[in-house]
Structure 1
Amino acid sequence: MKRRRSRRPAAKLVLGPILHARGTQGDRWRVAVCVVMGGEEEPPDLQVEGVGLPVPPRFLHDWGEVDRTAGRLRMWRYDFAVPRGLLDGRVAYGFLYQEERWHFAVPGTAVPTRIAFTSCGGSEDESEIPRHGLSRNARWAHLLGRHRAEPYHLLLMGGDQIYADGLWEHVPALAEVAALSLSRRPSVTSLPDDLDLQLDVWYLATYRYTWGQAEAAAVLASVPNFCMWDDHDIIDGWGSHPVELLDSPAYRAILAAATRAFRLFQLGIAEDDPAETVWGAEHDDGDYSQGLILNDVGVLAPDLRSRRRPDRVMSAGTRAALPDWLDRFRECRHLLVMSSVPLVFPSFGLLERVLNFIPGRQRIEDDLRDQWRSPTHAEEWSWFIRQLAAFSRETRCRVTILSGEVHLASVGVIRGLDLEIWQLISSGMVHPAPSDRLVRGMERLAARQERLFDGLTLEMPGFPETGRKMLPARNWLALTTGPDGELVAEWNAEGAPATFRRVITRM
């Protein structure tokens, strides 16, 4: 009898698989898998353990033949749900008729929830990483090792997943704009016809480079992620530049291309099929605020970049919808609020005011305007804190803020009568720490307790393990729910002999 040969798909895996968490649905855990494939053929169905029938691919995007070796590049998505039990499960998945399999953990309903948080997955100048004596992917490798020993259910990625700033040097259609000063760039109104294509190819290449690294790729294929972007996923300082620059033709084209890439890679959605977790789509066009609940832990990721302007962080639609979004977490014990830029952090307002008196625009001004504590955002900052405080007091749900962006680790807390809102900062995964001089300045600013409004105070307790407010080392954060409703936070810092630990009790 003639042996039947297995069919082999013509499509070639170029990037992925990338797992996206879609939340719980009854007793099932919903997941999406995205892949970038090369070739003319449609990729094969996905075989998922616990799912009765093979899962067909859904087409998301076509970049065309932009890679001579891989051919035509297209992105596809597979959507499925796997059953949950009291204890954790483990699911294998892979392409039909192929032997390779990947695995991920299915969160049990009666076990501690295990979450990893990362940010800043690149650098403005990657050549500086070896100059600091660092291995680019050391923290990714560390996270992967921890995951293999005790799997994580969810990977939260809090911003700057990629660093796209190199487009000024590598996108030929932007050469004329890149040669000008910031103040003169809005004057360029005629741009090459293929600018959009060149930008799409640039963001594709940047994601392929960043997420194609072996260590990061292994994590993304084995832990469902939940992402919110920040400025470097677009360009440095997006939203904090002058309005005339943000509204110029070149910058609008950059935002449009970055948004297309963000939707595809970080959210796993095309333009016509927003995921149920993207709550912002319900209220405000162009807002990608997201929410998800896993067991008794809620995650809210407001979009602080898509509609950002120099005088605001959130769009009007986001602010209007926030109370309703918070109400959806009423039954949770903990609510994790992802704010790419720390909400609880020392203020650099005095430095920003000094720079305002210097003629011209200083390079650091955009970075200062990016901060929540910028005087420009004072009203919006206090409004946001009041919203979180009112929700926590009314529901007795503990609110903890997760942030990155500042390239070090730290802990902050806002306290008041019967209230504590904790801030956990973990950054960066790849980006080196700031200079010693800058860290010393932040230490001094963080040393004093601030009196806010409504009887609230702000302080930076720091780390008992070192006696310092700031931890200037690359790091990632592990979060685990405890038996008494507590949340255990552990920073995994480069060069440290052990984790840095803080326990946040339930209200």
Structure 2
Amino acid sequence: MTRPAPTDALVLGPVLRYVDETSATVWVRTAAPATVAVERAGRTWSAPTFTVHGSHYALVVLEDLRPGTDDAYAVAVDDEPVWPLPGAPASRIRTLDPSRTTRFAFGTCRTTGSHDEAGNRAHGVDALRSLAVALRDDPHRAWPDLLLLLGDQVYADTTPHAELEAFMAARRSLDEPPGEEIKDYVEYAELYRLAWSDDVIRWVLSTVPSAMMFDDHDIRDDWNTSWSWRRDIRATTWWQERIVSGLAAYWVHQHIGNLSPAELAEEEVWRLVAAHAASGSSGGLDLTDALEALATRADAEPSSYRWSYTRTLGDSALVVIDSRAARELQPDSRSMLDDVEMAWLDGVLEGGVRHLLVGTSLPFLLPPGLHDFEAMNEAMAQGAYGRRVARGAETLRRTIDLEHWAAFNGGFDEVFAMVMAVARGERGPAPETVTFLSGDVHNSYLAEVTDPAALGARSRIVQAVCSPIRNPMPRAVRVVMSLFARSLVRPMRFVASRSRRVPDPAYPWTVTDGPWFDNNIALGHLDVDALELEWVSGVVDGDPDHPRLRTVHEARIEPLEGSRRAGTGRGRLGVASG
């Protein structure tokens, strides 16, 4: 392929998604129905686009690659070269190398806004964009094998971007529900376009493999907080279109890229895409009806579709949990995960890996003071102290977002028991670390189970939180969060421990580092001797196009004494699992 000239054929992307030792997937959005081709190392793979509500997409699957190879790639639409853009650095596909230790980056909560002085004043410096600039400009910087984005990549319920507001106003009256919030799939498609179209963001997404998971703002603040929240939102005139559009847009823009080629082959809607491609039909494939049917069913019957998934990372493993759509909200049986999702998690949380990473958008281990506060609120909201208290507790829960794992205590205890079984070596050789990766709370910290060896564990059990990438918390709320992490821990534990209706955590933990409140993104290294973590933030010194990275915090999580594993081993989770 020759170097492309500027073109309108490519609307968005390419986005490099799934990558393992021998395969990769590349996602694009095009301006019209077309055949999309990806060329790498003298070979070409292609796929026809599919259509959803008038927008056109392709996910090109590259197979039979060689492990540990690093080659530039190019994209063409109907034989017209469209990527890389003139003057831009090459995009590359680096397949995983079984002999190389894995590096990753993760974070959540990234608002869409300009990157000039006004945008940075409103949203802060974009940490993801700052990392992208560093990767682009520093050839010696270690390259992530995976970018894990754990929620709130787009904000469907707050749309401060002037271009998006103008787009919406040209289609409908913003004085009618849902007002300035996203209404339908077409507006979601534009929201994603704006979130991923900055030149530097577009480049980094094209060259660093990514895995993603939704959180509430991808749909709406407090999504599935409680049964009463769900009842009230369903009574509105606009919610059904919103939830169906949001889940369909998530399937297109995020979910299918999480899946391996083998998993794609089993996915019910993707089978339509594969069959259409195999038929060689010249007509376009419109997935609108099929996707809306899937989204409608997935919302009404969450157990009918799984958004969670796994990935193998060399001799380590990643399990990403849906902690939003899979909730059981019945007042007498609340759980973060329904029975089907819990059974799936029970089947994939295994040892036999060096490091086990568990991605969940909501922190599993909150600061202990906040955990106790949410657990007390949950008991009140469930009627432990009468109906009047329950109504007030429910109002408080929905007002200040008291809906993390602590507010679904039965599910919390069940998952914690699974994790402890892994850490004790009851599900295969115990990993060196079991680490929850999370965000959501707009502050970052590190927490750890206290004295795991005394609990029979051979693994260190850690919670690493990175939030926000770009959406800083108001100063007053920062003070409150700091209090829950430190000063209020003992008072809250004192109050909670004296109530028979508030369960005591079976395994105590503490915040060891933090919290800190910068816009930041976390970098991880699954080293043979430790799990290394670094939180970095972007700093602008007069030139917003060239932010520099500043280290906010570093941590090194070494194995428990006497539990260091010999050799490198291989992960037990296959690339097609989940």
TM-score by length of 1: 0.79
Greater alpha carbon shift after TM alignment, 151-160 vs 54-63: 54-63
Aligned to 2:222: 237
Q: Which runs of 5+ in 2 are unaligned?
A: 85-89, 258-266, 274-297, 382-387, 498-502, 540-548, 564-578
SS of the residue aligned with 2:366? coil
Structure 2 counterpart of 1:152: 144
SS in 1 for 2:46: coil
> Alpha carbons of 1:494 and 1:406: their partners in 2 closer, same or farther (altered >3 Å)?
farther
Higher relative contact order (CA 8 A, sep 6+): 2
Deviation at 1:381, TM superposition (A): 1.1
Shift of 1:307: 3.2
With the length of structure 2 as denominator, give the TM-score of the two structures.
Answer: 0.70
Q: 1:480 touches 1:488 (CA, 8 Å); kept in 2?
A: yes
Cα distance, 1:209 vs. partner?
A: 0.8
Cα distance in structure 2, aligned partners of 1:365 and 1:126 = 31
Residue 108 of structure 1 pairs with residue 92 of structure 2: no
Query: Given the alignment, which residue of 9, 13, 17 partners 1:16?
Result: 13
Distance 1:97 1:324 in 2: 46
Q: Is the 8 A contact 1:61 1:75 kept in 2?
A: yes
List runs of 5+ in structure 1 lacking aligned partners.
Answer: 65-72, 180-194, 276-280, 463-468
Please state how far the C-alpha of 1:388 moved relative to its aligned partner: 1.2
Over 3 Å counting, the alpha-carbon distance change for 1:309 and 1:215 in structure 2 is farther
The answer to whether the 8 Å contact 1:10/1:43 transfers is: no
CA change 1:33–1:363 in 2 (3 A) is farther
Shift of 1:255: 1.4
Q: Which residue of 2 aligns with 1:80?
A: 62
Equivalences, count: 452
CA drift of 1:74 comes to 0.6
CA distance in 2, matches of 1:303, 1:212: 26
Tell me how far apart the structure 2 counterparts of residues 251 and 399 of structure 1 sit (CA, whole Å): 38
2:255 is aligned to: 267
Is the 1:20–1:225 contact (alpha carbons within 8 Å) kept by the matching residues of 2? Answer: yes
Distance (Å, rounded) in 2 between the aligned partners of 1:446 and 1:389: 23
Q: CA deviation at 1:261?
A: 0.5
Correspondence list, 1:5-404, <5 A: 12-22=9-19, 24=20, 28-40=21-33, 42-49=34-41, 52=43, 54-64=44-54, 73-81=55-63, 83-85=65-67, 89-95=70-76, 98=81, 100=84, 101-122=90-111, 130=118, 133=121, 138-148=126-136, 149-166=141-158, 170=168, 172=172, 176-178=176-178, 199-240=184-225, 242-248=229-235, 250-268=238-256, 272-273=269-270, 284-308=303-327, 310=329, 311-327=334-350, 330-346=351-367, 347=371, 348-349=373-374, 350=376, 353=380, 362=395, 365=398, 367-374=400-407, 377-394=408-425, 395=428, 396-397=430-431, 398-404=433-439
Q: Deviations over 1:354-399 (max 9, x none)?
A: 995676974762543322222xx11211111111111222230221
Cα 1:62–1:444 change in 2 (3 A) is closer
C-alpha deviations, 1:155-205, integer Å up to 9, x for none? Answer: 1111111101147984848965448xxxxxxxxxxxxxxx99x60101101
Q: Does 1:437 align with 2:476?
A: yes
Deviation of 1:331 (Å): 2.6
1:458 counterpart (509, 531, 550)? 509
User: Which range is displaced more, 97-106 or 170-179?
Assistant: 170-179
Distance 1:456 1:134 in 2: 40
Q: Which residue of 1 aligns with 2:385?
A: none
Q: What is the CA distance between 1:429 and its match in structure 2?
A: 0.9
Q: Which amino acid aligns with 2:557?
A: I
Q: How high is the sequence identity, in percent, across the aligned residues?
A: 21
Measure the CA separation in 2 of the matches of 1:459 and 1:7: 54
